[in-house]
C-alpha cells in the first residue's frame, strides 16, 4: 500500500520549492531525471482498468539522465478507502526491468498482448529523501507537482503530516486525484485542447493561467 499527498503549483514557483527543500539538512537530494510514462488499458473492454469499479493505471516508465537510466512496469489503483481521510492510500505494485530491454517490452505490450495505449506524459522529476520520507518535485508541461510519500509502513500517515507541517503545507488542501485529472481540469477551465499525450512541445494549459485552473 502507498501513502501519499500531492500539491500543485505554477511553474514560476519551481525555484522557491527547490530552495525550501535544499534548506532541509536531513534530506538527500537526487539528480533531476527526465521521465516518459505510457499508460495502457486492458485489451478487453469488459476488463478495462479505467472502469470505475477498477480505477487503476497500468504504466510503463523510463527514467534517465546523463548518468543513469531505469525502466519500470507499475500498477496503481485507487481503492474504496483511498480518500476516506486526508492522506491518499492507494494500491501500488511495480517491478524494474533492464533499460536496454525497454523497446522489447513495448513491442510485447503493443503487438503481442495488444494492450491499448491510452495516454502518455513527460515530466522531469527530482527526489529528496531520507529514511522515512520521499518528496518529489515533478515538472509537468502544465505545471509543478510536489508529492510527499511515506517510506515507512509504521505510522505512514503521521509521517506525511509531519513533513507537510515542516514544509508549511496544509494537508486538507492536497489534490486528491491523478495527474490526468488535473490536466483535464486545466484544459476544461482554460478552454485548451486536451491531448492524449502530454508533451513539452505541445500547447498546454498552465496552473495559475487564464481561467479557473489555479486550484492547488
* Architecture of the CATH domain 2-198: Beta Barrel (2.40)
From residue 120, alpha-carbon distances to 32, 86, 148, 200 in Å are 20, 28, 23, 12
pLDDT, one tens digit per residue, over 134-163 is 999 999 999 999 999 999 889 999 999 999
Nearest Cα to Cα of residue 2 among 178, 216, 169:
178
**Model confidence band, residue 50 (pLDDT cutoffs 50, 70, 90):** very high
Give this prediction's pTM. 0.90
Q: What is the pLDDT of residue 211?
A: 47
At 196, is the secondary structure helix, strand, or coil? coil
Q: Average pLDDT over the chain, rounded to whole?
A: 93
Cβ-contact 78, 43 below 8 angstroms: no
Which segment of 46-60, 71-85, 105-119, 170-184 scores lowest on mean pLDDT?
71-85
pLDDT, one tens digit per residue, over 74-89 is 999 988 876 777 898 8
Q: What dihedral angle (degrees, nearest 10) is formed by the CA atoms of 102, 107, 109, 113?
A: -150
pLDDT, one tens digit per residue, over 150-207 is 998 899 999 999 999 999 999 999 998 889 999 999 999 999 999 999 999 999 999 9
What is the DSSP code (8-state) at residue 32? P
Cβ-contact 76, 59 below 8 angstroms: yes
The residues near 81 (Cβ < 8 Å, ≥ 6 apart) are: 89
In the chain, where the domains are located: 2-198
Cβ-contact 72, 60 below 8 angstroms: yes
Average pLDDT estimate for 86-113: 95
Amino acid at each position: 500500500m502507498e501513502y501519499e499527498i500531492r500539491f500543485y503549483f505554477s511553474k514560476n514557483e519551481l525555484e522557491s520549492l527547490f530552495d525550501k527543500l535544499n534548506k532541509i539538512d536531513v534530506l538527500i537530494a537526487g539528480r533531476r531525471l527526465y521521465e516518459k510514462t505510457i499508460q495502457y488499458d486492458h485489451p478487453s473492454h469488459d476488463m478495462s482498468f479505467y472502469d470505475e469499479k477498477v480505477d487503476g493505471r497500468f504504466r510503463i516508465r523510463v527514467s534517465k539522465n546523463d548518468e543513469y537510466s531505469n525502466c519500470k512496469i507499475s500498477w496503481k489503483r485507487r481503492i474504496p478507502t483511498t480518500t476516506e481521510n486526508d492522506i491518499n492510500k492507494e494500491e501500488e505494485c511495480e517491478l524494474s526491468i533492464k533499460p536496454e530491454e525497454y523497446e522489447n517490452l513495448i513491442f510485447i505490450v503493443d503487438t503481442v498482448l495488444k494492450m491499448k495505449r491510452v495516454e502518455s506524459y513527460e515530466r522531469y522529476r527530482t527526489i529528496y529523501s531520507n529514511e522515512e520520507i520521499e518528496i518529489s518535485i515533478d515538472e509537468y508541461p502544465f505545471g509543478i507537482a510536489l508529492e510527499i510519500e511515506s517510506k515507512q509502513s509504521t505510522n505512514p500517515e503521521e509521517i506525511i503530516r509531519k513533513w507537510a507541517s515542516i514544509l508549511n503545507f496544509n494537508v486538507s488542501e492536497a489534490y486528491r486525484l491523478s495527474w490526468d485529472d488535473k490536466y483535464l481540469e486545466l484544459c476544461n477551465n482554460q478552454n485548451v485542447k486536451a491531448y492524449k499525450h502530454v508533451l513539452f512541445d505541445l500547447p498546454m494549459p498552465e496552473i495559475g493561467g487564464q481561467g479557473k485552473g489555479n486550484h492547488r
